[in-house]
Amino acid sequence: MTPDASILVLNCGSSSVKFAVYEVGAIEASDPSAAQPVQAALRGQISGLPASARLDWHPSEAVPVREALSGVSDHASALAWLFDRLDHSPRYRAVGAVGHRVVHGGERFAEPVVVDEAILAALEAQVPLAPLHQPHNLAGIRAGCQALGSRAGDVKQVACFDTAFHTTQPALHTTFALPLSMRERGVRRYGFHGLSYQSIAERLRAIAGERAEGRVIVAHLGNGASVCGLRARRSHRTSMGMTALDGLVMGSRPGSLDIGVALFALSTLAMSVEQLSHLLYNESGLLGLSGISNDVRTLLGSIDPRAALALEIFCERAAQEIAATAVALGGCDMLVFTAGIGENSPAIREAIVRRLAFMGAALDASANSAGGPLLSTPQSAIEVRAIPTDEESVIARSTLAAVRAAS
């Protein structure tokens, strides 16, 4: 792929297509370990699928644009519209490859891969492990092929996996206390949010110096949430497991749960597997606890005591998982907050770090209110930071490398 081409990065959800465009020349000229990731030429999102599609379009050096889209109702029509818009805009270079976020790569996929029909079939087999995300990720790949039309054979599509970053974890942290025959059938901890953790790990040395090589815990706090412990900037232990249900309380997922609750729901409450799955993925977490919303901003602004309880449970579980990860690492030198809540909510950061005072963590109130990047006091035994993640730039670089390796 030549420097005058671009890479389109896609993150397809159930009702949205998030996208970013990167120039190949800019990727080649950038340093992945620099404090700031390579800048996208364009970022945007098509949301409101299927009934009321709208575009948020944000060129790097221009005013953001918002507009309603007619005739766009699914991933295929959304990507057809997007490719057409890019093709007819002199501002952007021709798309030479498409990189997709794919949540689950299973045991087989430990690095980005150029997608063909056999790869797509293998990824379909992982749908039961990530039913909230995987079907839409794969729909985006198919829609990309359809939208590219006659160019589909020349414009490669690359799957980049959230699970891949965690393949460095030892068996101690990936094995359930079940018969080993279950592990042989793929029942094990995989971990997620790996593209986010890779973004932080690659840039951390430039941001934090030598301490980055020590015992670092990254808290990715968003609608989906998890914690990852790094040693020498490699994944050593993470809070999520075989699926994206485990670990921290999330927007609509419960996090760690007594498996007996699921058995009780199936046997005594006579819930179907489908009903239980919907409950765990869509009706639990902050939404289920509060009965109000899965949005931390809404809950922080509410006077309803259920909102306060939901946030207390969220922060308590996060602190517990951070402490558990410190046990796995043999201590903690640095705590990094990232993702939507972690980067933008001083109140949540304060509530979590306050619970970690026994480990010597202490926030500077002014720095925390300002958003950092350094949040801790000079006396804190743990350096606390807020660092924006950038999964899209990781996907863009990985896509370029995968395409060139396959050429």
Q: What is the mean pLDDT of the chain?
A: 93
pLDDT digits (tens, 9 = 90+) for 152-170: 778 899 999 999 999 999 9
Give the mean pLDDT of 173-181.
96
Place 1 in a pLDDT band, splitting at 50, 70 and 90: confident
pLDDT digits (tens, 9 = 90+) for 26-74: 999 999 999 999 999 989 999 888 888 898 888 776 778 888 888 888 8
Give the mean pLDDT of 331-351.
97
Superfamily of segment(s) 6-161: ATPase, nucleotide binding domain (3.30.420.40)
pLDDT digits (tens, 9 = 90+) for 361-390: 999 999 999 998 999 999 999 999 999 999
| Residues designated catalytic | 162
The number of CA neighbours under 13 Å toward the Cβ of 157 is 25
Taking the domains of the chain in order of start, what are their residue ranges? 6-161, 194-386
pLDDT digits (tens, 9 = 90+) for 143-153: 888 888 777 77
pLDDT at 131: 86
Q: Which of 329 and 93 is assigned the larger pLDDT? A: 329
Taking the C-alpha atoms of residue 345 and residue 343, their distance in angstroms, rounded to an integer, is 6
pLDDT digits (tens, 9 = 90+) for 63-90: 788 888 888 888 889 888 888 888 887 7
pLDDT at 311: 98
What CATH number was assigned to the domain covering residues 194-386?
Answer: 3.30.420.40
